[in-house]
């Protein structure tokens, strides 16, 4: 109504003030939205892109209404690439740095030194595409039946390059003493990994296990095998600690012929000494043959008889030889056949630790009376061949034939 004066009451004043205050408070608040996107892929470089965008809009009107909007958008795109190398370098048992494919899937073996058994025990049996015949080891073929059908492309220096190339191997495993054969394979463009094949000691065989684990990209498995060996050797050493040198058994190792043996440079030395014996043939070093008169002079306490070189000298052959009747081992009938499992236990291979334990028990039955070789063997087969060894199979190991 024109000309009429209005009077503001105290209650109206307070209500209006409150509204203004509320609008002011609302004007200080922001609605916030955060969006983050992270994308990660593996490529050959590390690439990071961070994008931040912020917009703030505030509008205030005279009517006391405040609108405030804050929008924050963060986008992070991370592209990460880790490239796997195509090749890598392995130092073999000949001390040679060998460039091999990063992934080893096809292996040819051209030696008979236990390399097959190392590869199998370390988880690579399915990668073997050719190797020497394993017909001598029926339990091995029972565990790995495919081994019975694998081709043979030669051994040591006598190898067939055309057959090797036809199988397209990633690597060939051969003996470090087969220089001629190794050179032929390398000339054909195939890398060669050299192994010891009998010319080894305890340190050498454990190093070979480690190298094989590296070659197969399975060092956890090779470390488990090395640990098994190390723990069992500690057990043996502890039992031998109280036996003075003068009371140690003197041992002669027969390898297919009465006068064929191992000196200090071959595995027989490691086998005998690790089991607490004294190798009477140590003095011949790398030589392998002696004259019969030398054996009579050595006069060993024990003779162990091996079949691992193709021929076999039996206990009856020894006891029936007139010229050996004065030897202490013959008089006391301390004549023992070396066991054979998936491989000869008296050769450097994964099971050789069982052979060392067998010989320690044979030489010192009282000190090792509580060591259960059968239980140890079953444990080994279960762990490294994933196989339940039977009692009959174990008994067969201890009674080998030619």
Same-domain status, 339 and 365: yes
Q: Kindly give the pairing relationship between strand 278-279 and strand 250-255.
A: parallel
pLDDT digits (tens, 9 = 90+) for 334-358: 999 999 999 999 999 999 999 999 9
Same-domain status, 311 and 271: yes
- With respect to residue 149, please indicate whether it lies within any of the assigned structural domains: yes
- With respect to residue 2, please indicate whether it lies within any of the assigned structural domains: no
Q: Residue 110 in contact with residue 173, Cβ under 8 Å?
A: yes
In the structure, what pLDDT confidence band is assigned to residue 66 with cuts at 50, 70 and 90? very low
Q: Structure pTM?
A: 0.80
For the chain, give the percent of residues with pLDDT over 70.
79
Indicate if the pLDDT at residue 12 is higher than 50: no
pLDDT digits (tens, 9 = 90+) for 234-266: 999 999 999 999 999 999 999 999 999 999 999
Same-domain status, 79 and 106: no
Same-domain status, 377 and 249: yes
Residue 345: DSSP 8-state: T
Per the listing, tokens 């009938």 go with: 333
pLDDT digits (tens, 9 = 90+) for 173-229: 999 999 999 999 999 999 999 999 988 999 999 999 999 999 999 999 999 999 999
Same-domain status, 49 and 100: no
**What is the model's pLDDT at position 311?**
85
Among 221, 123, 139, 147, smallest CA distance to 388 is for: 139
- With respect to residue 266, please indicate whether it lies within any of the assigned structural domains: yes
* CB neighbour class for 345 (10 Å; exposed up to 12, middle 13-18, buried from 19): buried
Same-domain status, 73 and 168: no
Q: Residue 181 in contact with residue 156, Cβ under 8 Å?
A: yes
Indicate if the pLDDT at residue 62 is higher than 90: no
Q: Residue 26 in contact with residue 66, Cβ under 8 Å?
A: yes
In angstroms, what CA-CA distances link 144 with 49, 134, 207?
Answer: 53, 10, 25
- With respect to residue 31, please indicate whether it lies within any of the assigned structural domains: no
For the chain, what is the domain count? 3
Q: Look up residue 153 and give its two tokens.
A: 């492309």
**What is the model's pLDDT at position 58?**
39
Same-domain status, 255 and 294: yes
pLDDT digits (tens, 9 = 90+) for 90-148: 999 999 999 999 999 999 999 988 999 999 999 999 999 999 999 999 999 999 999 99
- Average pLDDT (280-285) is 97
**What is the model's pLDDT at position 40?**
39
**What is the model's pLDDT at position 312?**
87
Pairs from 87-94 (Cβ < 8 Å, separation ≥ 24) = 90/193, 90/211, 90/214, 90/215, 91/211, 92/176, 92/192, 92/193, 92/194, 92/195, 92/211, 93/176, 93/194, 93/195, 93/196, 93/204, 93/207, 93/208, 93/211, 94/176, 94/194
In the structure, what pLDDT confidence band is assigned to residue 292 with cuts at 50, 70 and 90? very high
- With respect to residue 234, please indicate whether it lies within any of the assigned structural domains: no
- Average pLDDT (13-28) is 41
Same-domain status, 132 and 202: yes
Residue 169 sits in which domain range?
A: 87-224
Q: DSSP string spanning 158-210?
A: EE-HHHHHHT--SEEEEETT-HHHHHHHHHTT--EEEE-TT---HHHHHHHHH
**What is the model's pLDDT at position 37?**
41
- With respect to residue 142, please indicate whether it lies within any of the assigned structural domains: yes
- Average pLDDT (17-36) is 41
Per the model's pLDDT, the better-predicted residue between 347 and 77 turns out to be 347
**CB neighbour list of residue 76: distance below 8 Å, 6 or more residues apart:** 36, 37, 38, 48, 49, 50, 51
Mean pLDDT check: name the lowest of 68-77, 320-329, 334-343, 355-364. 68-77
**What is the model's pLDDT at position 85?**
87
Same-domain status, 213 and 278: no
- With respect to residue 5, please indicate whether it lies within any of the assigned structural domains: no
Q: Look up residue 199 and give its two tokens.
A: 């010319």
CATH of the domain at 311: 3.40.50.1980
Q: At 80, give phi and psi (nearest 5°).
A: -120, 130
Same-domain status, 94 and 198: yes
**What is the model's pLDDT at position 32?**
41
Query: Which 3 state secondary structure label does DSSP give 398?
Result: coil
Among 153, 168, 141, 167, smallest CA distance to 110 is for: 153
Same-domain status, 325 and 379: yes
Q: Residue 379 in contact with residue 371, Cβ under 8 Å?
A: no
Indicate if the pLDDT at residue 63 is higher than 50: no
Same-domain status, 350 and 271: yes
- With respect to residue 251, please indicate whether it lies within any of the assigned structural domains: yes
């Amino acid at each position: 109504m024109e000309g009429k004066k209005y009077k503001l009451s105290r209650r109206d004043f307070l209500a209006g003030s409150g509204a203004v205050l509320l609008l002011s408070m609302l004007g200080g608040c922001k609605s916030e939205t955060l969006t983050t996107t992270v994308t990660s892929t593996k490529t050959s470089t590390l690439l990071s892109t961070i994008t931040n965008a912020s917009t703030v809009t505030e509008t205030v009107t005279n009517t006391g209404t405040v609108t405030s909007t804050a929008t924050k958008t963060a986008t992070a795109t991370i592209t990460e690439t880790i490239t796997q190398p195509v090749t890598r370098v392995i130092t073999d048992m000949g001390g040679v740095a060998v460039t091999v494919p990063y992934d080893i899937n096809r292996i040819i073996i051209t030696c008979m030194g236990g390399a097959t058994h190392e590869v199998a025990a370390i988880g690579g049996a399915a990668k073997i595409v050719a190797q020497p015949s394993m017909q001598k080891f029926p339990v091995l073929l029972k565990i790995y039946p495919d081994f019975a059908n694998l081709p043979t492309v030669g051994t040591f220096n006598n190898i067939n390059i055309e057959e090797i190339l036809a199988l397209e191997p990633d690597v060939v495993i051969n003996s470090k003493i087969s220089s001629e054969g190794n050179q032929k394979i390398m000339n054909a463009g195939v890398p060669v990994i050299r192994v010891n094949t009998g010319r080894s000691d305890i340190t050498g065989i454990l190093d070979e296990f480690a190298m094989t684990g590296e070659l197969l990209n399975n060092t956890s498995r090779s470390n488990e095998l090395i640990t098994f060996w190390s723990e069992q050797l500690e057990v043996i050493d502890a039992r031998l600690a109280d036996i003075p040198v003068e009371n140690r058994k003197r041992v002669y190792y027969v390898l297919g012929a009465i006068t064929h043996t191992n000196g200090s440079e071959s595995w027989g030395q490691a086998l005998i000494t690790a089991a607490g014996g004294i190798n009477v043939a140590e003095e011949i070093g790398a030589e392998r043959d002696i004259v019969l008169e030398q054996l009579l002079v050595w006069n060993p306490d024990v003779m162990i008889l091996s079949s691992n070189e193709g021929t076999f000298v039996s206990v009856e052959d020894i006891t029936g030889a007139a010229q050996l009747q004065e030897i202490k081992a013959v008089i006391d009938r301390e004549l023992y056949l070396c066991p054979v499992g998936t491989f000869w236990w008296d050769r450097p291979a994964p099971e050789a630790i069982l052979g060392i334990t067998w010989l320690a028990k044979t030489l010192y039955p009282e000190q090792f009376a509580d060591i259960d070789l059968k239980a140890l063997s079953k444990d080994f087969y279960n762990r490294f061949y994933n196989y339940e060894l039977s009692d009959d199979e174990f008994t067969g190991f201890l009674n080998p034939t030619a």
